[in-house]
């Protein structure tokens, strides 16, 4: 009897912690991690802002409309690594474009994503979550809507799909990873994805 009561107590505490983390803790996690990363990465952000402004002869930050939490639109911040005339295209299609030297470095090292830390501070994004989709990615948006993914978690800088990425991952596979993450949001899983992202950044990256 005591063992049953103890197991029930453990289950209750675990679920209570998960609910508190989802509702309050995840946002605090986002703020803390983004502030720490901004503190250490600010020199890189400033250096690449200057370099890309000179290289591309334009403002270094790219403002792009993405679909966010509960299907609301928001403006994502990225370093500008392609010409303004190209328009909005998925990352997988960028490989066919001619990109300048430092812009290519920014993309290969994911430095072009660093401005999104400000999106996290503004509350539009999370550190961990499904990557925000372009308006043109109709199939991906439709699948996420069907699975109610955009109503569970804010879009993230990185996510379960990204740390499991491989060449030409299909929309169905992305959504399966996104759904798996949304159904298992926890502090532990977020830490694991952060660590896997760090490992991912220091290896030869697949095209996603």
Residue-wise pLDDT for 23-61, tens only, equals 899 999 999 999 999 999 999 999 999 999 999 888 999
Q: What pLDDT score was predicted for residue 73?
A: 95
Does 206 map to a domain? no
Strands (E), 35-163: 61-67, 73-79, 126-128, 133-134, 156-158
Q: What was the pLDDT predicted at 12?
A: 65
* Residues in contact with 45: Cβ distance below 8 Å, sequence separation at least 6, in sequence order: 38, 114, 115
Does residue 207 have a pLDDT over 50? Answer: no
Q: Which domain holds residue 40?
A: 22-201
Query: Who wins on pLDDT, 200 or 5?
Result: 200
60 domain residue, yes or no = yes
pLDDT at 61: 93
- Mean pLDDT for all residues in the chain: 86
Distance, CA of 62 to CA of 83 (rounded, Å): 10
Determine, yes or no, domain membership for 12: no
DSSP 108-121: HTTGGGTTHHHHHH
The pLDDT, as a whole number, for residue 100 is: 87
Above pLDDT 70, what percent of the chain? 82
Please tell me the total count of domains within the chain.
1
Q: Name which of 54-63, 102-111, 118-127, 158-167 the model is least confident about.
A: 158-167
Q: Is residue 171 in a domain?
A: yes
Separation between Cα atoms, residue 128 and residue 187, nearest integer Å: 10
d(CA 87, CA 165): 24
Taking the mean position of all CA atoms in its chain, how far away is CA 178? Answer: 11
Residue 82: CB partners within 8 Å, gap ≥ 6? 94, 97, 99, 103
> Quick check: is 13 in a domain?
no
Q: Out of 51-60, 108-117, 140-149, 196-205, which region has the weakest mean confidence (pLDDT)? A: 196-205
- 200: pLDDT confidence band, cut at 50, 70 and 90? confident
Write the pLDDT tens digit of every residue in 74-108: 999 999 988 655 555 555 555 556 788 889 899 88
Does residue 56 contact residue 103 with C-beta atoms inside 8 Å? yes
Could you tell me if residue 207 is inside a domain?
no
Residue 65 in tokens: 């409309």
Q: Is residue 186 part of a domain?
A: yes
Residue 151 lies in a domain: yes
């Amino acid at each position: 009897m005591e063992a049953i009561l103890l197991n029930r107590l453990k289950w209750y505490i675990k679920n209570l912690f998960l609910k508190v983390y989802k509702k309050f803790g995840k946002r605090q996690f986002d703020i803390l991690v983004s502030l720490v990363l901004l503190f250490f990465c600010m020199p890189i952000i400033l250096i690449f802002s200057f370099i890309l402004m000179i290289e591309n002869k334009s403002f270094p930050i790219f403002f792009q409309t993405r679909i966010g939490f509960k299907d609301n639109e928001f403006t994502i911040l990225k370093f500008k690594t392609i010409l303004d005339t190209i328009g909005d295209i998925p990352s997988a299609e960028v490989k066919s474009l001619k990109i300048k030297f430092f812009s290519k470095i920014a993309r290969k090292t994911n430095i072009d994503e660093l401005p999104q830390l400000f999106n996290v501070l503004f509350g539009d994004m999370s550190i961990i979550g499904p990557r925000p989709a372009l308006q043109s990615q109709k199939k991906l948006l439709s699948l996420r809507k069907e699975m109610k993914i955009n109503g569970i978690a804010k879009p993230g800088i990185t996510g379960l799909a990204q740390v499991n990425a491989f060449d030409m991952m299909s929309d169905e596979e992305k959504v399966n990873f996104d759904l798996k993450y949304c159904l298992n949001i926890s502090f532990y899983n977020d830490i694991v994805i952060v660590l896997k992202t760090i490992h991912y950044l220091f290896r030869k990256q697949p095209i996603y």
